[in-house]
Amino acid sequence: MEAMAQPKYKGKRYRLDKPELLAPAGNLEKLKFAVHYGADAVYIGGQKYGLRSNADNFSFEEMKEGVEFAAKYGAKVFVATNIYAHNEDIEGIEEYLRSLQDAGIAAIIAADPAIIEVAKRAAPKLEVHLSTQQSTLNWQAVKFWKDEGLPRVVLGRETSLEEIATIKEHVDIEIEAFIHGAMCSSFSGRCVLSNHFTDRDSNRGGCCQSCRWKYDLFEDGREDAAGWVSEEDQLMQQAAPAPAPFKPGVTQIPLFQPQDNPFTMGSKDLCMLEHIPDLIEVGIDSFKIEGRMKSIHYVATVVNVYRQAIDSYMADPENYVLKPEWIEEINKAANRPLNTGFFYDTPDHEDHIYEPEEKAVPYDFAGLVMEYDEETGIAVIQQRNHFKPGDEIEFFGPDGTFFKQAVGRIEDQHGQELDAARHPLQLVRMKVDQPVRFFDMMRKRKN
């Protein structure tokens, strides 16, 4: 990630309260990593009514376990129930919401007024947070939802810092905003391309992310009144095969040559790490990270970096300094190029990805520290990806662990030397150069 421009927000600044760091959790294991690495709250999906139907999602038993784990760290668990419901979706919603309440869930994230009203009546101990799916962008709309009894609004991603300041000036309510992760190319999730292309309803959890697909583009050829097509257009059609013409006498001119990259229309990802002071001082109550479908390595890395940045700022606002190593860490988890979204200005053509994106994260989650012996310096590592002696690796953890080394001799639990750790969840023993702790992660650069 290249260094971004200096903050351009010069508006009102309201307070220095410590914001909530809200992390995604696509399954129970990711929830535990998110909390262990510093999240104040996590948002998850149940097996109904959420917008990530392809995620693992949680059973009620897993929710209870997640709530109990989070409570040990003083963290909360929210559940996304943010579909726009059709008539057939409503049956069973009361029982589902009561079950969430019984599981100890702190709040639901909802968009549909029907679900909101049912929750208020049937599960009054559940807080209801308004989903970003409602595309709430102005203070009067926020006031409407406060008057409806909602304690928190998740703003649309199109909201600027100046607009957030105006909202905070007019309405005393908790504001949650996305500060890191993927951006929808449509208006806060109102896209229906997925519905038309694949019969998967974006607003009922089925988005196929068609904005990330690769497309060919064609231009209708030029013709005169007699239907004559120029020789140049005919040659262009022959040079790069195109679908059959829409009508006789009209050539579809390919805008790409065979060697060109196909066209995409996805947005760059959001990253506000370099602008933590602006986010805090404008009064955002909850910093939300996108990514319930992302990997454990992504969740742990991003949460850990924002945790450090927030805590560092709150400890000494006047002398806060953005550390270069935080940016380096974010780069190790970044899936796409990064920008600041709508916070400072309206994104333009430079904020979109028009060619196939480089999705490969440069690092793999290679192992999880299970035990460490201070006398011998031997750690027990649970294998998560193939590694072998000689590999360059890094250790990092929520308590400040960070160092690099080469993998030396590795053994199984019986002391037998191994030429590689190649079996999923295999426990191996290896000497580490510095002390490590339970739940520290080991990663290696991809080849």
Residues 169, 140: contact at Cβ < 8 Å?
Answer: no
Mean per-residue pLDDT, 245-268: 67
Specify the 3-state DSSP secondary structure of 196. Answer: helix
Q: Which residues does residue 22 pair with via DSSP β-bridges, in sequence order?
A: 41, 288
Higher-scoring residue by pLDDT: 183, 227: 183
Annotate 327-380 with DSSP letters as a single string. Answer: HHHHHHH-SS-EE-TTSSS---GGGEE-S------SEEEEEEEEEEETTTTEEE
Q: Residue type for 132, please?
A: T
d(CA 134, CA 156): 7
Higher-scoring residue by pLDDT: 241, 204: 204
Q: What is the pLDDT of residues 159-200, one digit of tens each?
A: 999 999 999 999 999 999 999 998 877 776 677 777 778 777
d(CA 78, CA 393): 35
Mean per-residue pLDDT, 249-266: 69
pLDDT-based confidence at residue 210 (cuts at 50, 70, 90): confident
Share of the chain above pLDDT 70, in %: 85
Residues 158, 251: contact at Cβ < 8 Å?
Answer: no
- State which fold the 20-190+266-353 domain adopts: TIM Barrel (3.20.20)
Q: Is the pLDDT of residue 232 over 60?
A: no
Q: What is the pLDDT of residues 414-438, one digit of tens each?
A: 999 999 999 999 999 999 999 999 9
> Average model confidence (pLDDT) for the chain?
86
Fold agreement between 20-190+266-353 and 363-445: no
Q: Read off the pTM.
A: 0.85
Q: Is the pLDDT of residue 2 over 50?
A: no
Bridging pattern class, strands 152-154 and 174-181: parallel
Q: What is the pLDDT of residue 348?
A: 80
pLDDT-based confidence at residue 247 (cuts at 50, 70, 90): low
Q: Is the dihedral of CA 263, 2, 40, 137 positive or negative?
A: negative
Bridging pattern class, strands 218-220 and 252-254: antiparallel
Work out the end-to-end distance of the chain between its first and last CA atoms, rounded to an integer number of angstroms: 20
Span 363-445: which CATH code? Answer: 2.40.30.10
Specify the 3-state DSSP secondary structure of 88. Answer: helix
Q: What is the pLDDT of residues 64-80, one digit of tens each?
A: 999 999 999 999 999 99
Count how many Cα atoms sit within 13 Å of the Cα of residue 282 in the half-sphere of its side chain.
27
Mean per-residue pLDDT, 216-223: 65
Mean per-residue pLDDT, 84-107: 93
Tokens 């928190």: give the residue: 152
Q: What is the pLDDT of residue 204?
A: 62
Q: What is the pLDDT of residue 215?
A: 77
Residue spans of the domains in the chain: they are 20-190+266-353, 216-254, 363-445
Q: Which class for 6: exposed (0-12), middle (13-18), buried (19 or more C-beta within 10 A)?
A: exposed
* Nearest Cα residue to 405 out of 439, 430, 376: 430
Residues 6+ apart with CB under 8 A from 345: 8, 160
Mean per-residue pLDDT, 209-215: 76
Residues 334, 66: contact at Cβ < 8 Å?
Answer: no
